Structure 1
């Protein structure tokens, strides 16, 4: 056990980091391995691979993700801002490069190959973007003469512009929602609410009118008889089939016919084999992580930390909510992973980077009024 009396870098980290958040994240990662064992073997068999191919790769991605998460959680706020700027510039440039060099998959160019590894750079844009706009909003609250809000909107336009060109409307929606929430925290006037809502509505209409696969997804959601809804229907059936307590590990049948059972629809596989009770426990874990982070943000005296922790928590929680809503056919299908549970290397490592920053910025800091200055102490003693 690490003693509070120790003055080492690890002891300082251990006694200031939110350990309950760490344990909740560890539980999510463990659930991800268990669900991968349940969902991925049939997918591997259909592709002619070893039964545990995706399980092994899931764990292989998880190990560097843990290293990134813990390593970033040691950083200072200044180091986090500097690193986020570098990550944002590099990942945004790589995201733009996918438009020219990326392979087209299902009508979109989101992946680029570097040194034989497939990378989805837009995943890394999101957490870095949250840090940068949080920095700008914090500066805006301190210095009214700095056009920080205008610069934040310019960053949003640059990110959304590249994502729409891919096209990736799921990530666009996620980034815009988080930005809007942070913008609302700055105390924006109601006119900006109307402007943002109007721009979003116009953008959605243009996407619906000009991009065929977006129109097809929305039409299928509104009218299932208008197209193929096989995956969503199978996912919903898995919740019905599993009931409250599931059919038992390895007894699920939906995973044998779902192409993305190990990725986008792993939550549905968990529902069939482990039951709705386990799914509710997973939802509770996500809710705990988000609400606990929000509470830490509320208690922070640093505006930057308050904005950043809130934004990163919203990014994490909204992504999870979108994935689970798709599995339950509550919203049109989006290609978005369930954090730390779905298969996907880029997603897992970028989530680890974001959560690592959240842990670093939510670490307990000594209050200014509790820090005793030696000269003041001596003066107080002499006065007494």
Structure 2
């Protein structure tokens, strides 16, 4: 007996919200995220048991289970947030921003301190880093605020955007978290530049940035030591970057083979900040170049999609969000290659870390919501 379908499952005339989302979502970027998450799960098998032994975990697969759960949470957040239209993306970002700022204020009193920084809130053994969530929310809100200058030139939009950025930067520096501060500043400047940066603000940012950099270098010993680590390695403790360089060198072109890495047992943060070095040792330079290629293609695709948007708010905010994603990847890669000082910044969707995974899911989820096709554009001047 044969069966003939009377109609396609999703006819082109179907105008439901799900069909509209499916047709307008950038599945190429989603595929890139799936590849990165898959690489992260593979590398957790390599670095997880060593990390578990180093941290005293009885189960050698402890970090592998965690990475699986974190990856599922991050991908779920990404897909759920991508369902939003531009108006609701803005509203959701506002709620996330206000909630994250409140949590960052709470950090100053009840935050968990580790490695000289107070960046985490701990609940029943689970750690949360609010700065990972505040970054994309801030960038989207600033993109919207700065875009309103086109419709209401006399409004205090620039001051409001700068005020939100200044509040976030202050709370980050109080933790202190200089690496995230640099990342947020770069993304904010991208948003400001695309929205039309007045010349006087160029001078203000240049002067303020130079003064702040000198102040941080003078007042924070760990900032001074990490910069010295790169400029003059013989005068600082370079254990981490030396082990990373050793792992990359041992891997050579094609790597020592899956599970054959030796340096990961002696490399602090091998499953988080230095996961790229572990990958280089076991899979070689070819694998590293392929991974960098995935990040580069995703960044190019994202910026091209943002550039095609006519709506000023969505174009500006999307470019800022893709800057967050691509620059964080570049910074982590630079740290592993000893080009940049250690920052504590993870490799997006590859390094282990729940807050980082969810934060990156939120970042690209909002970006995907903004770059979706014409059918998702909200009517009206607010985009």
Query: TM-score per shorter chain, which class?
Result: over 0.9
TM-score by length of 1: 0.93
Q: Which sits farther off after the overlay, 41-50 or 18-27?
A: 41-50
What are structure 2's unaligned runs of at least 5 residues?
Answer: 1-8, 378-383
Please name the residue that 1:36 is paired with. Answer: 44
Measure, in 1, the Cα distance between the counterparts of 2:116 and 2:276: 25
Cα separation, 2, equivalents of 1:189 and 1:65? 37
Give the 5 Å matches for 1:1-384: 2-49=10-57, 50-366=59-375
Residue 3 of structure 1 and its aligned partner are, at CA, apart by 4.5
Q: Structure 1 CA distance, aligned partners of 2:10 and 2:41?
A: 29
Question: How far is the alpha carbon of 1:142 from its aligned partner?
Answer: 2.4
Q: Which residue of 2 aligns with 1:382?
A: none
Deviation at 1:46, TM superposition (A): 2.0
Structure 1 residue 5 displacement after superposition: 3.9
Contact 1:4–1:15 (CA<8 Å) still a contact in 2?
no
- Matched position secondary structure for 1:111: strand
Cα pair 2:81 2:365 within 8 Å, conserved: yes
Aligned position for 2:380: none
Q: CA deviation at 1:266?
A: 0.0
The answer for the alignment partner of 1:373 in structure 2 is none
Distance, in Å, in 1 between the alignment partners of 2:128 and 2:195 is 34
User: 1:378 is matched with which residue?
Assistant: none
* Contact 2:24 2:375 survives alignment (8 Å): no
Cα shift at 1:37: 1.0
- What 5-or-longer segments of structure 1 have no aligned partner? 369-384
Could you report, residue by residue, the CA deviation over 1:89-141 in whole angstroms, capped at 9, with x for unpaired residues? 11111111111111221111001123542101111110100111011011112
How far 1:7 sits from its partner (Å)? 3.3
Q: Is the CA contact (8 Å cut-off) linking 2:44 and 2:271 kept in structure 1?
A: yes
Over the aligned positions, Cα root-mean-square deviation in angstroms equals 1.5
Tell me which moved more, 59-68 or 7-16. Answer: 7-16
Larger displacement relative to structure 2 (322-331 or 135-144): 135-144
**What's the secondary structure of 1:329's corresponding residue?**
coil
- What residue number does 2:3 align with? none
Query: 1:321 and 1:222 mapped to 2: Cα distance?
Result: 19
CA distance in 2, matches of 1:269, 1:141: 48
TM-score between both structures, scaled by the size of structure 2: 0.93
Q: Point out the more displaced range, 38-47 or 226-235.
A: 38-47
Deviations 1:353-377 (A, max 9, x none): 1111111111111499xxxxxxxxx
Q: Secondary structure at the match of 2:268?
A: coil
**Number of aligned pairs?**
368
Q: Distance in 1 between matches of 2:282 and 2:155?
A: 55
